[in-house]
Structures are given as C-alpha cells and as structure tokens.
Structure 1
Amino acid sequence: MKSFHPSSYFSLPKWVLPLLAVCLCACDGTNVQQQAHAHVTEEYHPKERIPYERPATIIKALEDSSSFWVDSVFKTLSPEERIAQLIIVEAFSDKGPAYEADVMRLIEKYKVGGIIFFQGGPVRQAKLTNKYQAASKVPLWISMDAETGVGMRLDSAVHYPSQQMLGAVADNGLIYQMGSEVAREFKRLGMHVNFAPVADINNNLRNPIISYRSFGEDRLDVTAKSLAYMRGMQDGGIIAVAKHFPGHGDTDVDSHHDLPVIPYGRHRLDSLELYPFKELIEQGIGGVMVAHMHIPKLDSSRNLPSTLSEPIVTGLLKNQLNYKGLIFTDAMVMKGVTKYFPPGEAEARALIAGNDVLERLNSVPKAIRAVQEAIKAGYLTQQEIDRRCKRVLAAKQWLGLDKYKPVALQNLVENLNPALADSTNKALAEAALTLLNNTKRMVPLRPQKRLAIATVSVGAKRVTAFQREAKQLAHTSEFYISRKANAKETARLLKKLRKYDVVLIALYGPSIRPSNNLGYSPAATKLVQQLAVSNKAAIVLFDNAYALNQFPDIQKSRALLLAYQPHYHAQAAAARLLFGQIPARGILPVTVNRFYAYGDGINQDKPFLAGP
C-alpha cells in the first residue's frame, strides 16, 4: 500500500479535485442526495454449507473470516456497501422523531455497519434498536462508550465506579465481576461492542480528558485492571475495545477540542504508555481504539493525528505489536482530527492508515465518496476494503448477529438492575475507600453521650446519603451548604459549628461523575480550609482524587478519606468506615501532590469494630 502524505495528496488531480468538490459541495450526511451508483448484488450459492462452530475468542474468529454466513452476506453487498460496513454512526434515544429519521436514513440509504448509542433511556433505546435492525440490510452491531456501564449513558440503569475509583481497589476479581455484569447488561440491551477499558496511564494531573477515566499512574496496576475488565466483558460475549492507543495519559490537551502533541519516542512509549496495550493484545483484546494525537517522533508528517498515520496504525500497531484484532478510530467528529483534515479526506486517510472501522462521522456520503476516490487513485484497493468488510461480518457472526433476535422489552429495566449489580457496586465502594490522614487515631469515631458531632455536606442542596448513614450510627446534627456559597453564608455556618466537638465534612462536585474542577466559590473553599485546620474535622472527598489540590491546607485535617464518587454505596461506606464498621483498604492510584503520592493509604485488614 502506498503511503499517503499531504504533499502527494495535493498533487494528484486524478482524484483530489473530485474529492475537494465533494467536500465543498456536499452538505450534512443526513441530507445529502447520494450520487447515482449502480447497485449490484450477486447471488451466491455455496456448494456446501458447513455448520458454524463459534471460535473460542474474537481474535480466532477474525483470523478465519470464511463461513457460509459471512460469504453469503458479503456477496450481496455492492462495493459501496462494503465500505459502509466499516462505518459506525452515532444515535441518541432522547432526541425525538426527526433525529431518529436521520439515523434511519443512514441505515436504509447507505447501509452503514453499526451504531454507537449515547444518551437516552433503556426502553427507548431498545425500541429504536429493534426498529433500526429491522430496516438494516445486514444486522447492525451496536456499540457504546460505557466505561462505567450502561448507566453512564442511560437513565434507569446501573452506574458503576469510575476507573480511578477502581484503581484504588486491590481485588481485581471485583473488577472482573463488574466487567461480567456490564457484558450481561449489554447483551440484554442488544449491544455488542463496549469502547472500554481506558488503558491510558494518567501521569499528568492536568490531563483534561483522561484523568479519573484512567485506572491510575502505575503501568502494572493499569494493565492488571484493564485485563480484568476486558476478560469480564469478553468472557461474557462482548467485544472490549482498549483506548486510546498509543496512550493519551500524558497530555494537557483534550483531543475533543484540539490536536494534542506527544513529544516522546519509542523508548518512553515502550516503557510506559504502550505497556498496557501490549499486554491486552497478548491476552486477546478484541478491539483497539486509536487516539487523535500528533506524535512527531513516530510520524513527522505535519499536524497528522495518529488515527491517520500509517506508521502508527499499520507500522506500530499491526506490524510491530502484531495486533490481529479490530482497529477502531476515535470519533471522527473530534477537533483532534477535523482541525486539519476535512470530512471525507479524514476518513479516507484513516482507512489508508490501516484502521478497520470508522466511528462517529461528520458525513457518511462524504466519507464513502472519498474512499471511492482513494481506491480509484490507488491509495486503497477494493480487495483491502473487502477483506476488512469480511472481518466486520466475521465479528458480527461471533457476536451472534447471524441469528439476530429483537430486544425483548418486557421487564427490561428490572433486568438491568439486578441484585448482583448492586452488591458488586457495594463491594467496590467499600474496597476503594482510601484513608489518607488519621491523626491521633481519630478514626474510628466512638460516639459518646457528651461527644457533639455535626455532619456538613458542601455542594449539596439537602441532607445527603452520607449524612443519613452517619445518623444511623451516631447522634449527629446535619448541615449543608452550596458550592457557590458566599462569605455571609459560610460565616453563619461556622458560627453554628463552634459548639461541636467533631465535624464530619463531605465534599461534593457538580455531578455524579468526577470533575476536573469542583467549581467551589472562594468563600466555600475558605470554609473547607478553616474546618481542615480546626483540629476537629474529618473530611471525605466524593470526587476526583486530583481535586484535593483545590483545597488549601486540607492535609492538616485530622482525618482525610477519599471516596472518589458520590454513589450511594460510596457515601454509605464512607460513613460506616468513619464509625469503625468496615476497614480502610484502598490505595491512592495517582500522585496528587507532595503530601499524597501513588500507593498511599492507611490500610486495615479487618474492621476497627465489630460490624453489624
């Protein structure tokens, strides 16, 4: 395959001029009138139909893509439709009929290969899945960015911990169990591919996009936990996709908004960023997602994202790391690729670079036409498109789409919220709690009649689950205050707290997801600081570990507990730990500052007190 560089691209009138005309004249993918193409299907009658024996792994299925079903479906597809099988388009289940009709148009007109679902609800998504599948010429594979389970995207579904919170858990068997549960939820919703785990090593505390989405900063921990999550999902029949190759952890630029530049060469990448990906490849990860990052020491082409780099995708990932699974692009709508390459050209370059599947496009017709022009110009061959199309079909058969059945709607929400998922979340929350300070053994608290205890939730509008649980364990008085509180409000609260011997402070961010910036007002931040140095405070952070840096003097608190997220089980577990009902077992998965480094955590191998 010829290399594809900007200089040669702009010197080839054979196909560049038609491509530029397409990019300038074609409108959005849902509204463009498709140019006339001869739609030719071939009848195909194999001499002998051999019963399909499902390979043990997705990699084995991809290595031998010949089967009666794959061959027979493939022979019905026109060359254009074979390109379309390499495309996954986005879909939401909360945007209404007009939006849904646009998605349906892409399925019926262009015969795209799959869908990636985003926000919505499980019943609405299941109904749309059934509707879209019924209209599709070839069964669609359905995917989702569900790093923390389908509850990350859908209401009425289980929301598992962030990967940073999982990074604090010593027992990787719990992470495998979570992966198994996520796979079960995927199958119940008629989904097949999860763009998880995040295998990036987050060693840059200013990282705006990975941060809490990573298992941590230690390559061995990140690898072990990524493997546990991957195995749980793939043992459950779902394709796991490791991201963001070759490693997005050490950047302070969000590739959704710009093109990050990674200055490192192979020696550094081999010793750190690539390590988890190598192990995941060795253990049979079904998919790898390539990031939009510019890595000049691997490919010096100006402003070229790794997604469009043949030396990185084919040279490094396929040839040097010997990866045999499916290679997915990161979303092709992100500024990390669109800033320098227009729709159409970007997708053609991505396939030339060696990617198998294009995910979340700006325009399907522009992409298809650009790929066709690349084939005419000799930068791609139809045979290479056909080979990748057969791999996609082989993956679909391994996933069971050769025997597709609609999603059953009855009891769907109940099935997505089983008792096992709840108990898994509880176990993970308790195992992750990381005790960073315990001056003069303040924890465990032993309630006494004369000990006045107050609980304060900062960033809450009402009494929280943490406070309710604490109330069950001791006689407490409850207070709450906004993250945006002014000086008068904080002064009023401080005055009320003077009469208490112990103050348990719960810090919350703006949402259930961890945040890079908690958005506290200067007065609210000063309130936390004043309580931290009061010699009577135990502080619990229900958010991103790096957020500790937003609170001056927090290291002076008598007790400091990191709970990572405000899930119900995390809040209940934090209260129970403070009162000695469960042990502290978590370790800090990242270095936060000079006070708190990777591996810190005051651990106990048994509860302080006999629990109920």
Structure 2
Amino acid sequence: MKRFLLLFSVLLAGLSASAQKPFTTGNQRWADSVFARLSLDEKIGQLLMPRANTSNAPYDRDKLTAWVRDYKIGGLVWFANQPTRQTAMINELQGLSAIPMMMGEDLEWGLTMRLDSTIRYPYALTLGAIRGNDDWFYRMGKQIGEQCRRAGIHINYAPVADVNNNPNNPVIGFRSFGENQTEVLRRATAYMKGMQDAGLITTAKHFPGHGDTDVDSHADLPVISHSRARLDSVELFPFRKLIQSGLNGVMVAHLSVPALDPTPKQATTLSKPIVTGLLRKELGFEGLIFTDAMDMQGVAKHFPPGVAGVKALLAGNDVLETFADVPSMFQAIKSAVLSGEIPMQDLDEKVLRVLRAKAWLGLDHYQPAPLNNLLADLNKPTAEALARKLAEGSLTVLRNEGGVLPLKNLATAKVAAISVGAPAQGPVNPTAEQAMLLNYLPVDTFRVDVKTSAEQLAAVKAKLAGYDVVVVALHSPFMRSANAWPEANLKLANAFVGMPNAAYLFFGNPYVLDKLPGIEKSKALVVTYQETTVMQELAAQLVGGGIGANGQLPVTVNTQFKFGDGLTVQQMGRFRYGLPEAVGVDSRLLNARLDSIVNQGLDAKAYPGASVLVAKDGMVIFKKAYGKHTYESNQAVRESDLYDLASVTKVSTSVLALMRMQDEGKFRLDMTLGELLPEWKKSNKASLKLIDILTHQAGLKAWIPFWQTCLDSTRASGWKRKTFSTEQSRKYPIAVADHLFLHRRYKKKLLKQIEDSPVNPKQGYVYSDLSYYLYPQIVARLAGENWEDYLKNTFYKPMGATTLTYNPRTAYSLDRIVPTEYDSLFRKELIHGRVHDEGATMMGGISGHAGLFGNANDLGKLYQMYLNGGEYGGQRFIREQTIKQWTSYPFPVEVNSRRGIGFDKPDRKKPGLSGPPSAGPLSFGHSGFTGTFVWVEPQDRMMYIFLSNRVYPTRNNGKIGQLNIRTQFGEMIYQTIRQSTQIAGF
C-alpha cells in the first residue's frame, strides 16, 4: 500500500507539473473583443446561470426567452428532461443570444441523472469499490464529456470530491467515491481529466467538503465543526490536488465551517475568506468558481435571492447558478455595482474569466447541436459496455465461507432464489437476477415484498429450508442513506437474514448492512451498491461462475465491514453474458445483420420461428428468439424454449461420448465394429473401422425407412404383426404418437435390419445415419451406465446444460417445446415433444443420431466446451488433443470428404457449401434436418447456435437451404468480427 501511495504521489506531481492553467488555450482575442463591447447589463448577465426548469413542465419557453432577451444571461442550468427536447430548446435559445451561452447540468453519473433514454454509469460510491483501473474512470469521464457536448451541454457539475465519512449523510452518501481521501482523489482526478479532455468544464464539489454532515444543505445550513488541520488532511485534500492537476471549475457548497470562517450562519458560498482567501489565493485556483444552487435552503433560508447573489459575488464566486428569480437577482447586482459595493474591476475580472472559458469551449465558433441521430449518439454501445464493466468491477464479496461462490456441483446442487423487497414496478417473476441465474442452472424462484403476510413469509421460509443453496437478493431502492430505509423494508429484509443455507446479494447502500444484525455471519455476502438491472444480472453471473469479483468496500460500515474489505473471487469459466463491445465487436452492426438474416427467413416462411446464440471469448454476445412456435400459433418463441436438434444430436451425444471413451482408453478409432459389438462378428460390418464409419467412408447405406418396412396393406391396421398398436399396453409400451404405440421388442428387429444391410466399400463418401443407432448400446457397455444417464451425469448436468434431454415431454410442458412437422404419412399428427426422425422415435426417442432436444443457451455450453479445448466451468471433459484430432480433416484434400471425425467442416473445394464462406480450416460444426445448426470457429474464439423448425408444417419446405440462412447467419458474424477493428474490448 505504501508503494502504491508513493507511485500515486509521483503521478500527481507529474500531473501538477504539466497541468496548464485553465482556459489558456482558447481564442483569447475573441474573449477580449467581446468583453470590450459589453454594456454593464450584458456583463452582469454573463454571471447568471438560472434554473431552466422552473415548473413541472420541461421548461417555460416564454420565460427563458425573456431572460435571454432582457437580461442577456450567460447560461442556463438544466434538470429533468428528454434529450432531443432539451437540445432543441438549447439550440433555440442559443439562436436568440448575441453571445453564446454556457449550458450546465448536474450529471454526476452520466446524462441519465437528468435525461431519460441515456446511459447510466455507476454511482460514485459504486466506482469507489473498484480496485485500481484509473483508465476506466478516465474513459468514463471522456465518454460523459463527449455525450454532454453532443447534447449542447458545456458544464457538468461533477466530479464530487467530497470525502463521505458520515454514514448518516443525507445528501452526499452514494454520490461520494468513499471515505478515504486518497481513493477519492484518484477517481476524481481521472474522471475530471477525462471530461476536460472531451472539452467540458468540470466543477469539483462541494468545496470545501460536504462529506461529514448529517444535514442536507438543500433544507438547511450544515455545520462542519472540524479543525483546520483535520480539514486540510481530509476534506480539502482532494480539492487541493485536483487544482494542481488542472481542474477548471469548482462548485462552492452551502456550509458553515467555523474553522475557516467563524461568522454565524455564514454559508461558505458567501464567505470571502473561504472563496477568495482559501480557494482563489491559498490554493491558487484560477478557473471558474460556481456557487451551489442559489435556491437551496442552506443559503436561501437566511438571505433573499438578490442579497445572497451579491454576497456570493463579493465572496469571490464567478457564476451564480440555479435560481428562478432572474429579475431580482439582476437588479440587486446592478444596484451593488452602481453603488460601488461590487467594484467594477471585480465584475470585469469575473466576466472576462467567463468569456475566456467560453472561448476554451469553442463558443467563439458556436454551432447548434444537430438533432439527427442524437439519441443514437448519446447511447453508443461502447459507452454502455464501459458502464457495465465499471459495474462489474465494483462487485464486492464480503463473505464466502468455504468458497460457496461461485456455485459448484451444478449436477447435484438444489438451488432456490428469492427476491426480497424488489421494486413494485419490476416484473412479477422472475426478477433480473433470477432470470440471469436461470442461464446457469435450474433454479426455483420466489418473491416477497412488504405486502407479503407473516403467514406467507413463514411458508416461504419453510420451503427454502429444503434447498442446498438459497440465493437471497435483498433489494434496496432507498439509496440516500441507511436512515432512508422504511421500517417495513428493514423488517422484511431481517426476516431472511441468518438463513444457514443462504448466499446474500445486497443491492443498495452498504451502510444499511449495519441495520441487518447477523448478516456478518453469512456464508456468502455480495454487495452491489445500487439497484439496477445491470447490477442484478452481474451479481447473478458472479453466483453462476461467469464472472469474478475483486471489489472493496469504499466506506466503513461497522467493526465487521471496514473500508478496504473485499474478497477476490475467480470466475469459473462458465458463460459470461454481455455486450459485443466487451469483446471488441460492433453490436449495432452485429444486431442489424443477424436480425436481417433471421427476419429474411421469417418473411420467406423458411421457418415460423428461431432461437439463436452467438458467443465470443466465452461471452454470450447475442441471444435472441424470433417468431412463433407455428405460423398459426400465438405462442412466441422464447430463448428458453426447446427445439428438436435432429442430426446435431450426433455431435452432441455420440461423438461426445466416444471422445470421452477414447480419453479413458476404452475406445480407439482403429477399432472395428466387430470388436465393439462381438455379436456382429459374423456381420458384413464386423471389419469396418470406426474411423471410416465416423467419416462416412465405410460404405454404409445412407439410411433405412424403418417404418415403411412395417407396412402391411393386407391387414386392417395397415401394420405387420408385432409392430404397432393403437392402444398402449405392456406389449406396446413405446408411444411414437398420441395413438400409435410400438412393440416392446421391435428395437431388436430394427437393429437387425442395420446389421443385415449391404455394404459398398467402393461408394466413397456417403453420409450415413446407421452407425449412430448403435452408439447408445456401445457406450453403455463401455461406460457401464445407461446411455442417457451417462450423457447427463458426465456432461450436461455438470455444465448446467440441463435442457439437453431426450423425450422432453417427460420433464417439460408442451408450451416449452417447439413443434416440428405435421406427419401425414406415418404418425398422422403434429410432432410435438417427440423426436421428428422416424427411426429415432422407433428407438423409443433415444438414439445416437437424433432425439436430443435443448435450448440454444444450454447447447451453447457444450460447444463452448469444444471451443475451450475440452474445458468448461473449471472442469475438463475431453482432452484438448482429442478434440483437435476429431475436429481436423483426417484425409487429404484429394479424398472427396469435407468431414472431420463425426463433425462437419468447411468444404475445401467449395467454400460456403457446408459452413460459412469465411470459415477457417480449424472450424467445425454440424447441421440438423429440422433446421438446426452449430458452428465453432477457434480462429476467432467464436461459436454460434441456430435453432429453427423449418420442417413445420412440412419437410418439403427447403427455403432455409435455398436462402443459405444458417451459413449466412454465420458469415455475418465472421464479417462483423473482422470489421470491428475500432472497437476496444475489455
């Protein structure tokens, strides 16, 4: 820590030595020439920045126009508004002013503090929890500065340089970077420099320091009773160093500080010893000095507006801001100047300082802010990505007994998530953190609020006792201070404190932890500092193992939770979920292109709906559902819906299992089918090698229409004996349709047909399903475990990929499963929740070539494991060398095969035939007959999933192939990644 402080001191010294005086780089000649022709009224007007919003309306056009016309005001301070409306009004008023005005706004955590439809950066206290990463704060300042200038704003009343060391502070609190003056300075300096480098005037506030008070200066005049020595070492420390680093604006607070000025009820704003003596002379500040809002009761309670304004100027302030009575303020100042109370020299110095600031802002060549694309420019995805990264960096883990977080043992953990006190305006269920957590594993969700009865609370708690882990989200919309929490909310939160199986996520002001006795004994406790959707999602990703945590408490809560506390938690290598910009991809380009491709298929009726996922560098950057389950249905496709994966089953089950068997020494690619199935030693397939079978070079038939071999037109049923029945019974237990059931022993006949089928070793490459019927039997023997159990226990459950399943009707309601084809020939019904492939359904829905269902998110985990070289979630499933072997070309280009071992690969002679045209030689994947597709590109660390039911209502619909939807979808990903060269990932 000492070494860090030394390095930081050296950095500050360098900044101080190189920092320019404020506003020296502007067009001084313009400032001087304007000043030379100003009348007294115009000079006074330059020092006034009244409140632009003086009623419940966004603004009063007539009043503002009159102020500009009659009083020549130098600027305006804006409050709540809509960006386009505010900027349009700014442009209009600027057009009326002979001298361009400075527009100011209080935008501490970005434009969203005052303007809707804009990006929310984290609160200062949240930023105070981030360890290091000063560049992030600088970039935030730069982005906010650029957004302000784009919207016509020139002054941001930030950064807050107050050192908040009073838990009961009702006005600063979460607006401060924390209780440590050095940490406050680090963040404030980087934030300030970013904004100023973007051409913005900043105003460090609230001088001389508003952090240690329990009175809100909006309501009264707080008293800071510390000694001068204490003020120098704590409260004044950030301001002094910021000034040395080139700060160009300061806002003076309405405080009473007897150690600096003993005058009773004298607000610092009105104190010449403080504003001129301390700030201007002792600290050497040469920039603009702004008052805090002149309509705040800290000053307005003791003096009429005009009197307070005159006193503020006499104290040494340059600009009076945020008041509504312009006529009174103007007349009082003019009278004071004419009477000599305000010396003309003092007035001129202030006016010239304002004009030079305007020249530095470039207002000597003022141009109105264009309204076209304003909202898009204010909401650049790169800015949103940085805001998310800052939020992620703040996550603070205060307890993690036994490494509870991230969740381990997804295969066996029984997990619940309860939302306690979530804001009423949110969705009924689930909340944002619950929805995100469901991406990692099945979770039972609960929700309670202050309206929940005592009996209901008891019933919920009784249910929660039966879970291994309960993720308890304590929601807090009351950010101002710990005292802001209503008793009912505290009582509700405390009802769930102390649960032995709980991991707590606290969304709110950390000081509230002191009002939750017993929470210090929690097995796991995460603090996120504020109640936002982004914070909820990030906290859930931490629990799920997608991201880690390295935040620290920026304040001391009590003896158990002190400044600097915070455990480091490593992410587990599971999926992260975020914006494309976080991995260097242009989201606007990506979203537009992928939406266009999928919607093209919807418009052409290539499929009624689709669900897709794109991941890069282990982060899911695009996950979306489109369309409906069927053309006639009102059921919209959801991201969690299950699709029939068709032949994607091959590389998601059979190939997966055989690679694992190879790793365990139970299987070799040079083995013959006779070795694996001794009962087939006399078969014509006994000598076939698995390497040839899996690359479709062994001479097997492409497929056998098994159901057609069961037809018998001479029988009333239409079926041969011991094949099908319209009634389910012990002999006919296998439901292939609602009213069609297969004989229990027919599977043996089906496998016999495969055994007896011809082999043509000269046919070369022919894609065949037949061997995949055999792998469930082969793997079950090798593994000593039922095929489906083996797949789920070995792979799917440990990955949290629990929707990957056969026969999904047994576990999911039909509204979660997307239908496939209406089978008018064999099953004579809509295939819904049963495998589409006829052969697989005659195997009881379970085969190695078809039958697997799942959603895009869970399927993506499996293919991310492949992309990771066999690892996912901190667990190795397949050796990396094995995956490289199976996903490589096993034959030279002269052999007419585009196959890896089991996997499909780019056609080396016809790029774009089997994969995206830009696919590299290391890439691999597979397609499915129902309209599914998976593709992995190691070169770009990218993989994508495309799920659709293109066979609805009939398989004769080939538009998905004719339009190359699935490969073009991938091509757009490739192109976007390679064109996003200007996007800086995190």
TM-score scaled by structure 1? 0.87
Q: Which secondary structure state, in structure 1, belongs to the residue aligned with residue 126 of structure 2? A: helix
Matches within 5 A, 1:340-351: 340-351=302-313
Give the aligned partner of residue 590 of structure 1.
555
Q: Which secondary structure state, in structure 1, belongs to the residue aligned with residue 329 of structure 2? A: helix
Opposite residue 194 of structure 2, the aligned amino acid is G
Superposed displacement of residue 66, structure 1:
7.8
Confirm or deny: 8 A CA contact 2:23 2:287 kept in the other structure.
Answer: no
Matches within 5 A, 1:496-507: 496-507=463-474
Q: Distance in 1 between matches of 2:421 and 2:564?
A: 28
Matched, 1:468 2:468: no
Matches within 5 A, 1:138-537: 138-170=99-131, 171-460=133-422, 461=424, 462=428, 463-510=430-477, 516-517=482-483, 519-522=485-488, 525-537=490-502
Q: Distance in 2 between matches of 1:149 and 1:380?
A: 37
Confirm or deny: 8 A CA contact 1:514 1:543 kept in the other structure.
Answer: no
Superposed displacement of residue 143, structure 1:
0.9
Q: Distance in 2 between matches of 1:226 and 1:571?
A: 26
For residues 589-609 of structure 1, the C-alpha deviation after alignment (integer angstroms, 9 at most, x for no partner) is 0001111000000114x4244
Opposite residue 315 of structure 1, the aligned amino acid is G
* Matched length: 553
For residues 334-353 of structure 1, the C-alpha deviation after alignment (integer angstroms, 9 at most, x for no partner) is 00001111110100000000
Give the aligned partner of residue 39 of structure 1.
none
Opposite residue 563 of structure 1, the aligned amino acid is T
Give the aligned partner of residue 70 of structure 2.
109
Structure 1 vs Structure 2 CA RMSD: 2.1
Q: Distance in 2 between matches of 1:526 and 1:587?
A: 27
Q: Which secondary structure state, in structure 2, belongs to the residue aligned with residue 435 of structure 1? A: strand
Confirm or deny: 8 A CA contact 2:76 2:101 kept in the other structure.
Answer: yes
Matched, 1:118 2:85: no
Q: Distance in 2 between matches of 1:532 and 1:303?
A: 44
Q: Distance in 1 between matches of 2:574 and 2:499?
A: 30
Give the aligned partner of residue 853 of structure 2.
none
Q: Distance in 1 between matches of 2:493 and 2:474?
A: 9
Q: Distance in 1 between matches of 2:276 and 2:352?
A: 19
Superposed displacement of residue 549, structure 1:
2.1
Superposed displacement of residue 207, structure 1:
0.5
1:321 and 1:315, CA in 2 relative to 1: closer, same or farther beyond 3 A?
same
Confirm or deny: 8 A CA contact 1:190 1:406 kept in the other structure.
Answer: yes
Give the aligned partner of residue 98 of structure 2.
137
Matched, 1:600 2:565: yes
1:190 and 1:169, CA in 2 relative to 1: closer, same or farther beyond 3 A?
same
Q: Which secondary structure state, in structure 1, belongs to the residue aligned with residue 88 of structure 2? A: helix
- Name which of 542, 565, 568 aligns with 2:507: 542
Which sits farther off after the overlay, 377-386 or 146-155?
Answer: 377-386
1:458 and 1:520, CA in 2 relative to 1: closer, same or farther beyond 3 A?
farther
Opposite residue 396 of structure 2, the aligned amino acid is T
Confirm or deny: 8 A CA contact 1:202 1:211 kept in the other structure.
Answer: yes
1:340 and 1:520, CA in 2 relative to 1: closer, same or farther beyond 3 A?
closer
Matched, 1:560 2:525: yes
Confirm or deny: 8 A CA contact 1:311 1:353 kept in the other structure.
Answer: yes
Q: Which structure's CA Rg is the greater one?
A: 2
Which sits farther off after the overlay, 165-174 or 448-457?
Answer: 448-457
1:562 and 1:134, CA in 2 relative to 1: closer, same or farther beyond 3 A?
same
Superposed displacement of residue 435, structure 1:
0.2
Opposite residue 389 of structure 1, the aligned amino acid is V
Higher relative contact order (CA 8 A, sep 6+): 1
Q: Distance in 1 between matches of 2:58 and 2:179?
A: 44
Matches within 5 A, 1:565-576: 565-576=530-541
Gaps of 5+ in 1: 1-55
Opposite residue 527 of structure 2, the aligned amino acid is L
Q: Distance in 2 between matches of 1:392 and 1:458?
A: 51
Opposite residue 550 of structure 1, the aligned amino acid is K
1:251 and 1:345, CA in 2 relative to 1: closer, same or farther beyond 3 A?
same
Q: Distance in 2 between matches of 1:575 and 1:66?
A: 52
Opposite residue 607 of structure 1, the aligned amino acid is Q
Opposite residue 519 of structure 1, the aligned amino acid is W
Q: Distance in 1 between matches of 2:81 and 2:41?
A: 31
Superposed displacement of residue 266, structure 1:
1.6
Opposite residue 36 of structure 2, the aligned amino acid is K
Confirm or deny: 8 A CA contact 2:171 2:480 kept in the other structure.
Answer: no
Gaps of 5+ in 2: 1-17, 576-617, 619-986
Q: Distance in 2 between matches of 1:295 and 1:412?
A: 44
Superposed displacement of residue 545, structure 1:
1.2
Q: Which secondary structure state, in structure 2, belongs to the residue aligned with residue 344 of structure 1? A: helix
For residues 165-219 of structure 1, the C-alpha deviation after alignment (integer angstroms, 9 at most, x for no partner) is 0001111211111111101101110111101000000011011101110000111
Q: Which secondary structure state, in structure 2, belongs to the residue aligned with residue 91 of structure 1? A: coil
Q: Distance in 1 between matches of 2:57 and 2:233?
A: 48
For residues 472-516 of structure 1, the C-alpha deviation after alignment (integer angstroms, 9 at most, x for no partner) is 0111011222245442342242233233221111122237x6654
- Name which of 26, 51, 58 aligns with 1:90: 51
Confirm or deny: 8 A CA contact 1:514 1:565 kept in the other structure.
Answer: no
Confirm or deny: 8 A CA contact 2:51 2:324 kept in the other structure.
Answer: no
Superposed displacement of residue 95, structure 1:
4.5
For residues 490-546 of structure 1, the C-alpha deviation after alignment (integer angstroms, 9 at most, x for no partner) is 2242233233221111122237x6654563554x54453343312111111111111
